[in-house]
Structure 1
Amino acid sequence: MTNILILPGLNIDKNILNNIQKAINKNDFFTFEDLPKNIRNSSIDVLLHEYLLHLNEKYNEINSITIPVSFTKSLFEFSGLVMAHHIRLTNELKFWDSLIVIYSVLDMIQLLKLSPLSRILLTKNTKYLNIIEYSFEHLEKSITKHVHEKVNIEGIIKQIQISPPANYETHHSVDNEITLIKWSKYIGCYDFLPDEFKKEFDSNLYFKYYQLVSPIKNVETTKLKRLESIDRTKILLIDDEAEKGWKTFYSHFFSTYIKTVIFETLDINYKALEQISIIEEAKRKIEEFDPDLVLLDLRLCDSDLNLEQYSTDKLTGYKILQEIKKFNKGIQVIIITASNKAWNFQATLRTGANGYIIKRGDSDVVEDINELKNLIEYLSIKSEFLKKVYSKIQNVKFFVRKNELLKSDDDSFRKVLFSNYEIIFELLEKASDTPSNEKYYNYAYLKLFHCIEEFLRIKSIFDYNDRCYVNNAIKVAEKISKDNESQRWKSIIKLHKGNPSYWIYEENENVSQISTDFKMSCVLIFLYNQENSNFLNWPNIREIRNKNAAHPEEGTVSKEQILDILSFQEYIFNMDNIQKSTKAGLPDNVSEENLQKLIKKFDKT
């Protein structure tokens, strides 16, 4: 059985070197090994991990391994103590439970006070040698007499304390990487992660420790149900660590659980760009790709790591969220971050985030994956509808701004209309949340119909009086009843009975009221020069408003019906659709009273 003694590096204390030289001269007990090379120039965890694997291959059986407390002149690097932890926590080593001896010029009590890593000295099959007080001959005797104790890894875990690596800017970085490992192993894509990342993770002492404290559950991935309800959803990942493994994870996740996904990432060098440049690149990508769903991290550049508390509005991810919602409020955004700060959660939801997943190292991986899967399914369906709604509303607003017929001194119609559309979108968002909120589709439909009614109140569209005109030029109705109680009108259009009914171009003396349906039919026939009012589904729009929207108990307005009425509004608010009428209105005869007024006016002149 081999007893290894690892030699320290150059510039080591002379007392240690003298004692080691004596041990070397008596070379019948220890097998000497040089320290790992370039310990200052590479990751100590990677270097020590690979060095120990090398020893594992080189020797069939190692009885003991003697290590300096540090491999350099600076005792306070404690690299030897780090190696001792690696030995105990690397289960593929044949000698993981062998006797470990740490040697140094320090008193053991001093060492225990200097570093929490020295707690390894208090575990089973571990000894300490003060090289000032004792020689290596003493150590040889101690090793020979040592009775091997059964090492229990759970017992070691309770005694030692490993902190996250010092090269991590925040604890969030550790949670981020642990979550990536846990999620990837759970869905079976860990082997496909970038080799550099896996090498760093597999050799990292903290992650070795963490996996023993919180082992990842082994679950058959076939038990996870595939999503069939969404198809060809466009998903964009904005994460500065996409290339470190998150892109691989999501690609595998989507190909495994979703029928068809068009998945892209914001592929930029985050480290080389300032915040404003990252935001501009994100805007460009969003406009170019037009995603249905965005998976968005909050911290995307170095400046995000040094912000004060409650400064969510200064985070790069938060600013990108604002830009996404400016582009299309219907795009659904899931914030996926290692930050568990309540103010970040609240601020992003107020700004329009539709979901929030915290990457926590101590969370349940099964619950995490199910939450991610369910949220993506739910929001993908929601986005398909709301993106279309938002686009149509923006089109309507654009046409309304251009339409000269809708101008007024105080611009009141446009103000009311735009305010209504803000409310309408909020109602439709609420309606899309849960089946119990479907009544809000009805409320939104009523509000949309109200926009049409407001449109028909504009005199340049429909002038309602005893004589009614379309576009201030074509008389379409004239009141013929003499008293105010009874309503009888002569009109240029006639109701054609059907299911549903609509109006045709034909003179008629039996109109009992000038309803919204009558007004809109006149506008369609004369302003837009249609043959009748059975155009762009108007009769059905009217019927849905009267029968369903106003009476939720009778039935819920559908998403398709919402899109239909918005398409109708896109047409009627677009001034380019107005045509010169080929049909004449009612003769505009001058009444006897008006004739006398004109005669008197003529006589005076």
Structure 2
Amino acid sequence: MKKVLLIEDRYPRQKLFMDESRIDLDSYSDALDNYTHGKEKELLELALNERFDFAQYSYIIAHKSAFNENNAKFLTLLREYAKEHDKILILFSGGISINYYDNNEYEVLELNSQTFYSANLKLFLDATREDNENILMLCYGEDWKRNVVANAIENINTLLREHKSNDPIPFSKFSSLISKLDAIDYHFKKIEKSSRIEQEKIERFRDGLLDYLNQLTPTKSPSTPKKLLIHNNNTDIKLFENRIRFELEGGDIDSYISNNLLEDIKSKEFDVLFIKDNLSSNYLELYGLIIAHHIRLSLKLKEKRYIPIVIISDLDSATLNALSPLARILHSDGVYIIKNSKEAIEKFNSITLQPLTTYQYQNSFLNRIEVQAPENSTNHDIANEWAIDRWAEFLKVQTQAVKQNRDKIASMLYFKYLVAEYPIEQSTTLRFIPKKPTTQGKVLYIDDEWHKGWSDIFEAFFANSSVGFNTFEYDFKDKDESQIMQSITQSITNTLPDVVVLDLRLLQNDKNQSKIEALSGIKVAQTIKSINAGIQIIMLSASSQNRVLEKLYEYDIVGYIKKAHPQEQHTSPKESFKKLSDLLNEGLEKKYLKEIWSMQEDILELEILQSSNENYKKIKDEIDTVFEILNSNLENKMKFTILTIYKTLEILIEEYPTDKKGTYEKFVSLFKKFNITNYNNDISQLVCTRNFLAHAGDFRASCKNSVVKKPNQDNILTWFKMLQTILEKIDAQPNP
């Protein structure tokens, strides 16, 4: 199969034109590589460096001004490549008003963007699949042969009219006017090549073209619209040859419509759909209006979604609107209401109805209807199921849990409405690969709905990254808060993750809880921090209330991620994954705080720090600030921590005096006093670095190889461990 390359820098324009023409370019991925939505920039860079393979394409199509300052260079590259390799080049632009075709050196076509992005493109791509395409289809659509022939006839008549004498006409002047006829598989009356051609022969050739044009123009006869009726034997069914009986026998209405009724509708050929508004023994159920919404919102119906719908009712529009908000559909374009009578139905048959345009669908239908959430679903349930579907679709996750979630919601009218109202951002022909965290570490995921697809989504996100990911696989159902806390505490204590991704609501009674401090996720976060305050927490929430979410920062979290929420149009899965990656990197960069916290807690429990000794009281106060400083947003927190460690050692020198002169010598002597001799280099680094920081970057020559100008986490851990070692040695003495 031939392959087409399309280069477009204006993705919104392409999407608008394709939506208007109802063409899904993604469905032509076997014949078309669509470089747009940022992907065209990658192509430009490769092409300018001669690393892009144009050879695989039979047709190269590009926006004529796609690359700003690089545009002239790129167009020259395309033209030279097409000429050298006998490729067909097609250029489109909004500034082109007249189609231009030339096949002298190589085939090139230039046309207007709106002409290109039309049903003509679909025709061309379909023909490419069948290996019977012609680029003139892009200009003229299905009438391309007639246009070519008609233009040739016009050109010949102009030539004959402007040729003032009866002398023969130069062949070159004649042949250039009919060059496009070569594209049509038809043997016209031949004119032998000679230097000049008699006008009579040219006239006979023109008449032959006229005969061929008449053959290409079929005689159209008016056709009667095909009608389809959906009924329950409560209207005059004899007026319709094509009909479907509504036969719901218990069960869910949405499932019946999606899995049974719509399949019947797909198999029928019709131009207008008639639906009785009431299809059950309870008129107020108005199942006919529900069906009308399903038809408009079901993507699997494709073009039939836009078909004209006629509601047959025993009530008027005002009464129906008073009974149900679903009646708002009656005020949208392409939906009509008539009385349930033979006369009204027969009269309506004489009216010509047109299907909806994409513009009408968006502005007249979607903007006017109201589809309410199912009565048995909470806002949290809806948001969670919606988010699983959106995130899984974006990452192309296809597991059993994700499929079950999708099967559950796919038939629901409310979710069909959400999909139409808030479509997921479409990925380009390059599969989107989310940014992965670059820092190593352990991540634990805690969510009561982990088994519904969330764990699979995170598994896919963390695949091939440096992160060790685990899910807290626990059956939350029918468990009380104390049981859950006990199990989470045990898991955290045993595994000590670096980062916990934690759902905000883990219990059923959270769904109606308005106080943030009473939410189970907050209580779990507090429990985790009590085990080790250095464990970093990222909150995951289906809430759309920013006021509530911002309060989460009061509980010492790294940040929060919003699950995709129907009411949050600006929160896309792509943005959520980027934020998640950024927060994970931030959290994993702080994983050393876990060790700092553990060391600080161990030091503060030493017996010497419980004594009434004034120096040890001072040391306890200093140690108690280390984690707080490092866990803060202070700009110079590393410096302050170094000064704290240094000051603590100075206090120890006061408690254990030495006759040594320099600070370094005093510290070494102190450590040696308690048989610690393996920290001399670290002591030197600490003293030199402290002096460097305290004296505005100045240091002695002896510190040249010891000073650490930019102390990092590893330095802090080493020096704090060094301090812990000396304090533990002192504490272990019989009479410290």
Separation (CA, whole Å) in 2 of partners of 1:2 and 1:34: 20
Q: Once superposed, what is the RMSD of the aligned Cα atoms? A: 3.2
Aligned partner of 2:475 in structure 1 is 269
Q: Is the Cα contact below 8 Å between 1:332 and 1:379 reproduced in 2?
A: yes
For 2:355, the equivalent position in structure 1 comes to 150
Which digits, 9 at most, give the CA deviation of each residue in 1:112-155, with x for residues without a partner? Answer: 12222101122344333444xx3xx3354145324221213223
Q: Which amino acid aligns with 1:106?
A: L
- Name 2:69's counterpart in structure 1: none
- Residue in structure 2 matched with residue 426 of structure 1 by the alignment: 628
Give distance in 1, aligned partners of 2:507 and 2:245. 43
Instruction: Provide Cα deviations, 1:571-603, integer angstroms capped at 9, x if missing partner.
Output: 12225885799xxxxxxxxxxxxxxxxxxxxxx
**Which digits, 9 at most, give the CA deviation of each residue in 1:522-555, with x for residues without a partner?**
44333x235x585583333333333346646872
**Does the CA-based 8 Å contact 2:692-2:698 persist in structure 1?**
no
What aligned pairs does 1:129-528 form with structure 2 within 5 A after superposition?
A: 129-131=338-340, 134=341, 137-138=342-343, 140-142=345-347, 144-152=349-357, 153-154=361-362, 155-170=364-379, 172-189=380-397, 194-220=402-428, 224=433, 226-227=435-436, 229-231=438-440, 233-255=441-463, 259-308=465-514, 311-359=515-563, 360=565, 361-365=568-572, 366-383=574-591, 385-398=592-605, 400=606, 403=607, 405-409=608-612, 416-430=618-632, 437=635, 439-458=636-655, 462=656, 464=657, 511=660, 513=661, 517=664, 519-526=666-673, 528=674
Equivalent residue letter for 2:328 = R
The alpha carbon displacement at 1:446 in A equals: 0.7
2:258, 2:411 within 8 Å by CA — same for their partners in 1? yes
Aligned residue in 2 for 1:61: 269
Kept in 2, the 8 Å contact 1:549–1:557? The answer is no
Deviations 1:66-123 (A, max 9, x none): 4343443333333321111000111321532334333444333111122221011223
Give the equivalent residue in structure 1 for 2:144.
none
- Is 1:570–2:708 an aligned residue pair? no
The 8 Å contact of residues 442 and 552 in structure 1, kept in 2 or not, is answered as no
Partner residue in 2 for 1:6: 230
Residue pair 1:304, 1:315 contacting (<8 A) in 2 also: yes
Contact 2:385–2:405 under 8 Å retained in 1: no
Native 8 Å contact 1:119 1:159 kept in 2 = yes
The question of whether the paired residues in 1 share the 8 Å contact of 2:437 and 2:585 is answered with no
d(CA) in 1 for partners of 2:268, 2:286: 28
Q: CA deviation at 1:190?
A: 5.8
Preserved CA contact (<8 Å) 2:229 2:240: no
Work out the CA distance in 2 between the residues paired with 1:28 and 1:445: 88
Query: Residues 192, 226 of structure 1: CA spacing in aligned structure 2 closer, same or farther, 3 A cutoff?
Result: farther
1:561 pairs with 2:715: yes
C-alpha contact 1:298 1:316 (8 A) present in aligned 2 = yes
Query: For the Cα contact (< 8 Å) 2:459–2:469, is it kept in 1?
Result: yes
1:90 alignment counterpart: 298
Whole-Å Cα distance in 1 between the matches of residues 582 and 593 of structure 2?
18
Partners of 2:604 and 2:405 in 1: CA distance? 49
Q: Mark the CA change 1:260 to 1:540 in structure 2 (over 3 Å): closer, same or farther.
A: closer
Contact 2:536 2:558 in 1 (8 A): yes
Supply the distance in 2 between the matched residues of 1:228 and 1:169 (Cα, whole angstroms): 33
Superposition deviation, residue 313 in structure 1: 0.9
Q: Partner residue of 1:506?
A: none
Alpha-carbon displacement from aligned partner over 1:21-55 (angstroms, at most 9, x marks no partner)? xx35x4863534232332xx33x323321123321
User: 1:590 — aligned with what?
Assistant: none
- Paired with 2:239 and 2:675, the residues of 1 have a C-alpha distance of 108
After superposition, give the CA deviation of every residue in 1:170-229 in whole Å (9 maximum; x if it has no partner).
2x5444443433333333336776222112332222332233233222224656565473
Match runs of 1:13-162 below 5 Å: 20=235, 23=236, 26=238, 29-38=241-250, 41-42=251-252, 44-57=253-266, 59-93=267-301, 95-131=304-340, 134=341, 137-138=342-343, 140-142=345-347, 144-152=349-357, 153-154=361-362, 155-162=364-371
Moved more, 111-120 or 99-108: 99-108
- Deviation at residue 516 of structure 1 after TM alignment: 5.3
Cα pair 1:239 1:266 within 8 Å, conserved: yes
**Alpha-carbon distance in structure 1 between the residues aligned to 2:307 and 2:549:** 49
Contact 2:558 2:583 in 1 (8 A): no
Q: Which runs of 5 or more residues in structure 2 are unaligned?
A: 1-224, 700-708
Aligned residues: 492
Unpaired stretches in structure 1, ≥5 consecutive residues: 9-16, 465-476, 478-490, 492-510, 582-605
Identity of aligned residues (%): 24
2:306 is paired with a residue whose SS is: coil
Distance 1:416 1:351 in 2: 29
Change (3 A) 1:288 1:82: farther
The separation in 1 between residues aligned to 2:279 and 2:490, in whole angstroms, is 51
Q: What amino acid maps onto 1:420 in structure 2?
A: E
- Residue 219 of structure 1 aligns to a residue whose secondary structure is coil
Structure 2 counterpart SS, 1:367: helix
The amino acid of 1:392's aligned partner reads M
C-alpha distance 228-442 of structure 1, shift in aligned 2 (>3 A): same
Question: 1:494 corresponds to which residue?
Answer: none
Cα separation, 2, equivalents of 1:542 and 1:424: 18
Q: Structure 1 length normalisation: TM-score?
A: 0.73
Query: Which string of whole-angstrom CA distances, capped at 9 and with x for unpartnered residues, describes residues 396-423 of structure 1?
Result: 223x2xx3x45534x7666544443342
The one-character-per-residue Cα deviations of 1:307-347 (angstroms, maximum 9, x if unpaired) are: 23xx1110000001101111222211111212244553344
Report the Cα distance in structure 1 between the residues aligned to 2:549 and 2:620, rounded to whole angstroms. 29
Q: Find out whether 1:529 has 2:675 as its counterpart.
A: yes
What TM-score comes out, normalization by structure 2 length? 0.61
682, 690, 709: which is aligned to 1:545? 690
Deviations 1:470-493 (A, max 9, x none): xxxxxxx6xxxxxxxxxxxxx5xx
CA contact (8 A) 1:61 1:95 kept: no
